[in-house]
Amino acid sequence: MRFSTSAAVQAGSLLASTLQLGVNAAALPAGKLAGYQRSESGRGYGGQCKQTKVVILGAGIAGITAAQALANQSISDFLIVEYQDDIGGRVINKPFGLNAATGEPFQVEHGANWAQGLGIGNGAPENPIWTFEKKHNISTRPSNFELIMSYNETGEVDFLSEIDAYEEAFAEMLVEAGELLTNNIQDRTVREGFSLVGWKPELREHPQAAEAVEWWLWDGEQATTPDESALIFGAAVSNFTFLQFSEENNFVIDQRGHNTWIKGEASEFLNQGTDGTYKNDPRLLLNTIVSNVSYSDDGVIVLAEDGSCISADYAILTFSIGVLQHEVITFEPEFPSWKKTSVESFQMGTYTKIFMQFPTNFWGTNEFFLYADPIQRGWYPIFQSLDAEGFFPGSSILFVTVVQRESYRVERMTNEQTQEEVMKVVRAMFPNVDVPDPLYIDYPRWTNTPWAYGSYSNWPPATTLEQHQNLRANVQRLWFAGEHTSSSYFGYMQGAWFEGRDVGSRIAGLVGGTCTNDGDEDGLVGGAGDVGACGEMVHYVVLHGTTTLDEYNIENGWDGTSFQTNGLGKEEEEEPLARRGEGMEKKRPQVGWAARNPRRAKAKAKA
C-alpha cells in the first residue's frame, strides 16, 4: 500500500551558472584528470569544475528537505543535482487514460500514493507529511477498507473473517516483537513471529484465502514477504507510523500531482530564477546523471556523464538503496568494508500498480477487491477502484497491485501480455458479467528505472540496528540521507523527510563551524568546538554477533574442527569425538567452508 520516497539522482546543463571556479589539482582523483585541462589560474579545469559549499545529490523528499535545512540556517551556497527533469523523486505522477469531462488524461501516481499515519486527534503528534499536504492543499480521500469484497477463481466468496484472525495474530506478534527488543533477544523473521502466535495460513481451513489476506495486510504494505522481513524492525516501523501518529490512510487524488507539496516547499527557498520559480533557480541542476563521486577529508568531487564537474566541501547523497546496490555510480576511494556491507545488507522492495481504464464500470461501488488465487500466492491479489465516490467517479479506472517477484515478472512483460493475465483473473472474479477489455493499461517498471531501481526499502532479517547505522553513517565528507537511512520510518515519506532535515542541519553546523548537537548523542561523535569531529556519524568497523566465543562449542552443536578457513592458523588433526569441544573457550572458532566443500578443499591442498 505504501510507496515511500527518497531521491533520484542528479544534474543538468545549468552547471555553467553563476558559481565560483575553484578546484585544486590535488583534489581531483587520480584517473579522473583526463579531459580536465588546467586553466591558466591553476585552479579550475577548463571551466568545467564549479565549486560550492554543499552538493546535494537527488531532489526527492530527502534532498529538497536537506537543502531547506541549509537555507533555514542561512546557508545558500549549495547545488541540488537531479537525474530527472523535475523534483520529487519517487513521488511521481503520470498521465493515464482519458477524463471525459476535461478531454485530458487523468494524472495517476506511479509512486507514493498515500499519506499514512496522519496524526489526527487524541493528542497524537501530526505526521509532517500530512502537515505539508494540508499546507499545499493536496486533494486526498480517506481509504475505506470496509468497502471490500473477496473472490477466488469461482467468483465472489466471502472469506473476510480471515482479516479478523490475521489482525488478532498481528497484535500478538507486535507484543512479542517488543519483548524481543527490550530483552535483547535475537530477532526473527516476521514469518517466525506469525507462526509462534498461531498464524499459519497453510494450516487454516482455507489456506488460499488466508494467504490473500496476509498478502494484502503485510506484503501490500512492506512490498516484501513475511519471510524476508525482520520482526523487530518490521513491527517497529508500523508502530512508529500508525501508533505514534494515527491509523488513517489518505489516498492522493490531486490532479496537480502528489509531489506538488515538495515543489511548494522548494519554492520557498529556490526562488532565484528569472521568473521567480524554483525550476529556474541556478542552484537546481536537472537532467544530468552522476557517474563518479570522489570523497576525502577535504571535500567531494562529483562527475557527471555529460562531462561536467562539481567540487564541494560536503556532499549529501540521497539516492535510493537500489541505486547504491546497482553500482551505477563509482566511488573513489571504494567504500570501506563496513560501508559496503551495510549497503548490501538492506533491501529494496518493488510495488507495482497496474492501471486499467474500462469502457464502463462493471464492478460496482466497492473500493477494494481481494482475490485468492488457487495456485500462487500474490497473483494479482488486490484491486482498487478509482471510480468510487470521492475519487474519480465516472472514470471506470481499476488498478491491481503486485510486489517483488511478481513485479519483476510483469516488468519483463509487455502491457498486452500483462493485460491478458489480469483479465483472466478479472473474468474469473466476475463470471456472470460480460467483462470488456480495458481501453488503456499502463504501469511503471520500477526495478528497471535507473534513478530508483525499486520502490522503497525494507528491513531484512539479520540486519541489526548497528548495521543500519553504518548505512546512515558518513564516509569522510560524503553524507547519506533517504527513507532507507531512517531506522524508525524506512520505506515511508516521513522517513525521507526526517533524515533529510537531520543531515542538512548537521552539514549546516559543519559549514558554519558550529554543532547542531553536542556530545555523544543521536548517532553523533564529537561536540561543539571540535569542528573536525562535529556532527560525525557513529559507525562500527567491526560488528560482533550475539554469540560469545566460548559458546562456539560442541554443546551448542558447533563442530569447530570440521571447518577450516585460510589464514586462521595451522590446521590441526581431527581430535577423537569424545575430546571435541574440550577447551573450545580457549580456541578461535574455525568458521570456513573448505573441509565441507570438496572443490575448495582441493584448491586449498594445491595452494
Helix 337-345 vs helix 465-472: crossing angle, to nearest 10: 110
Residue 265, by phi and psi: left (phi above 0), alpha (psi -120 to 50) or beta? alpha
Question: What region does 56 belong to: left with phi over 0, alpha with psi -120 to 50, or beta?
Answer: beta
Query: Of the candidates 567, 12, 28, 570, which has an alpha carbon nearest to the alpha carbon of residue 295?
Result: 28
Residue pair 133/115 in contact by the 8 Å Cβ criterion:
yes
- H/E stretch holding 330 reads strand 330-332
240: helix, coil or strand? helix
Rounded Cα–Cα distance for residues 4 and 500 (Å): 14
CA distances for 538 relative to 54, 326, 471, angstroms:
21, 25, 10
By the 8 A CB rule, do 50 and 307 touch? no
Question: Between the CA atoms of 84, 86, 92 and 96, what dihedral angle is there, to the nearest 10 degrees?
Answer: -90
Minimal CA–CA distance to 309: which of 64, 67, 29? 29
DSSP string for residues in 105-121: EEEEESS--EEE----S
Q: Pairing relation of β-strands 78-81 and 114-116?
A: unpaired
How far is Cα 495 from Cα 489, in angstroms, rounded to an integer? 4
Amino acid at 524: L
AA letter at 602: K
453: Cβ–Cβ under 8 A, 6 or more apart, which residues? 320, 322, 323, 325, 326, 348, 446, 447
Strands 49-57 and 524-525: unpaired
Cα–Cα dist 491/456, whole Å: 5
Q: Around Cβ 591, how many Cβ atoms within 10 Å? A: 12
Q: How remote is the C-alpha of 319 from its chain's centroid?
A: 9
Q: Is 290 labeled as ligand-binding?
A: yes
Sign of CA dihedral 196, 199, 200, 205: positive
Cα of first residue to Cα of last residue in the chain, in angstroms, is: 54
Annotated binding-site residue numbers:
290
Annotated binding-site residue numbers for FAD:
290
